[in-house]
Amino acid sequence: MTAVEGRHASHFPCSSRDRQYSSSIMCSIDRLLQKDVRLGLRPIPHFHFSAMASSLLYYLLLFFLLLSTNVSGHRHHSHHRRAPVLPGDGGDVSAAINLACRASRFPDLCESALSSLSSSLPPNPAPADLILAALAASSDGTKTARATAEDILGASASDLNRTAAARNCLEFLYLADHRVGVASSALSAGDLAGARLFTGAVALHQYDCWSAYKYVSDTQQVVDAMAFLSDLANVTGSAASMIAALQRYGANTSLWAPPQTERDGYWPDVAAATPPPEGFGAGVAGSCFSGNPDATVCKEGGEGCDFTTVQSAVDAAPVNSQQRHVIYIKEGVYEETVRVPLEKPNLAFVGDGMGKTVITGSLNADTPGVSTYNTATVGVLGDGFMARYLTFENTAGPDAHQAVAFRSASDQSILESVEFLGHQDTLYAHSLRQFYNTCRIAGTVDFIFGNSATVFHDCLLVILPRQLNPEKGESNTVTAHGRTDPAQPTGFVFERCTVNGSEEYMRLYRSKPAVHQVYLGRPWKEYSRTVFINSHLTEIVRPEGWMPWKNDFALATLYYGESGSDGPGANVATRVPWSSQIPAEHLGVYSVENFIQGNRWI
């Protein structure tokens, strides 16, 4: 893997009326589709690039000085107003900045950025004022980065890879610009968890842009853009760290310190009413979806069909609707690339069953001008996405490297009884909050990856043969989580899942088990976080459990936890020393309710 991301339908009782859409559409979406739609978003990366970052700090400071007047002039917007629910604790502006920036892992950069905005701050700034100022700086910095990406795109007509990188950057920075407004609004409303989540998403997309440039950094213009983005993302990350400190210590900024993780012995307070393990999967069991689909897709067309492609049904869906829009996709193999844009929230794909309704593609990262992010057969940005009873597939094959079947940056997305088929990088759980229930996910290397906060409940994780000549053996990893900053509340939680091999893989494994090695995960980024709870680990899981990425990278900062699993691969006595057993009293941290606030939207 490389670095480069109307629930109020017409109500009818579930009856024979529904059978006109096929037997499997009846009751196809449960009460999840009937609740009021709630929109939201998520947190993320840090990365340190000492070479150009220090040289660009001066220019970044000049940038913030230039934009401070603009920030002051826009304080009437909702994402710049003060949050009265978060009072300050006194002191002048410079002292307040100094104390608040103690929460940052980059205190000097944080102080420089906020000091340049001091004229826009009130005399006695509350913590929220300082965080909002940092978010305002991030927003304006994002706009500057977008303008630079436009310039790079214009200068790269003869370079296919640089053109693709610039286009990806424009998408990432568009998303960052959107998320920063949501983060600011959440903070102003006193929603600290949401503000932290969304602030991390802003930094993630800024990092994504940096990462896209990393492979085409053959011009000074791109090098300078990367240096600017590195500092900008760290300013945004400082805002996330300040929100984390506000959550932990309260408004007394003299107590603030950089964020810590489970590896440091820090466990956040959780709702006492959530008893592990019963808290996992709460609200999953659904009831019938009462109503007809809003659109029907049929491979061959015909009576009762509105569209012959999934993308055309998505294109016709309402823009920025707060109502659930259900697209029923009849049985068939749909060979197409599907994109659900940010402006199309609350879409639901419902098929006729795994293996019956199949959306398939074959894009892979070995193709010039195609990054891992672009390889997805189905890519979703619109929040509140749902899918049920279908298969997402990438057929690129085991020798094609990165080839994504499904990518989601959709906050509060739910996928149930969905199959994901691929090899390397099958499921890109890119960002924000996601929930997968009773799904089947198959692949070889890092086949579940990303930097989202995701819970996988009762899912089957299937290892496939990795190579064209698999008899010689291989090392496969189920996960590669990409958390880059301890302020990000992201991670992968697997609860009541099973890790097993396909029939072909099991035949190979049993013929020569020593050369066919399966690990639960490896750390893609420095603060990678993955836990397996109450799961079944078959004999293919190595006794060590977890695999390093390279040498000792991230081994002191990651968190890989286990609790209550069974099966021959679940013997914790032989685990690597840098993995952990989750204390029983802290299991509630990883419940659906606490980890992804699922009780609000599932």
Catalytic residues: 446
Between the alpha carbon of residue 487 and those of residues 103, 318, 549, the distances in Å are 10, 35, 22
Query: String of b and e for 77-89 (b: at least 16 CB within 10 Å)?
Result: eebbbbbeebebe
* Residue carrying the six token digits 């990883």: 590
Please list, in sequence order, all residues whose beta carbon lies within 8 angstroms of the beta carbon of residue 112, skipping any fewer than 6 positions away.
57, 60, 61, 64
* Residue carrying the six token digits 């913590």: 127
| Separation CA 477–CA 464 (nearest Å) | 11
CA 280 to chain centre: 20
* Residue carrying the six token digits 């099958």: 426
How would you write 24-59 as a 3-class SS string?
A: CCCCCCCHHHCCCCCCCCCCCCCCCCHHHHHHHHHH
* Residue carrying the six token digits 């102080």: 111
* Residue carrying the six token digits 């989540």: 197
| Helix (H) / strand (E) containing 479 | strand 474-481
Q: How many residues does the chain have?
A: 602
> Are 306 and 295 contacting, i.e. CB atoms less than 8 angstroms apart?
yes
| Separation CA 130–CA 126 (nearest Å) | 7
Pairing of strands 516-521, 474-481: parallel
CA 472 to chain centre: 35
> Are 448 and 492 contacting, i.e. CB atoms less than 8 angstroms apart?
yes
DSSP 322-373: SS-EEEEE-SEEEE--EEE-TT--SEEEE-S-TTTEEEEE---TTSTT--TG
Cis preceding linkage at 277, omega within 30: yes
> How many helices (H) and strands (E) are present in the chain, helices listed first?
10, 24
Please list, in sequence order, all residues whose beta carbon lies within 8 angstroms of the beta carbon of residue 574, skipping any fewer than 6 positions away.
543, 544, 545
Residue 426: name the closest of 368, 488, 378 by CA: 378
First to last CA, the chain: 31
* Residue carrying the six token digits 């007047």: 69
> What are the residue ranges of helices labelled H in 455-569?
503-511
DSSP 259-309: ---GGGT------TT--TTTTTTTT-S-----S--SEEE-TT--TT-SBSS
| Separation CA 96–CA 254 (nearest Å) | 9
Pairing of strands 295-297, 325-329: parallel
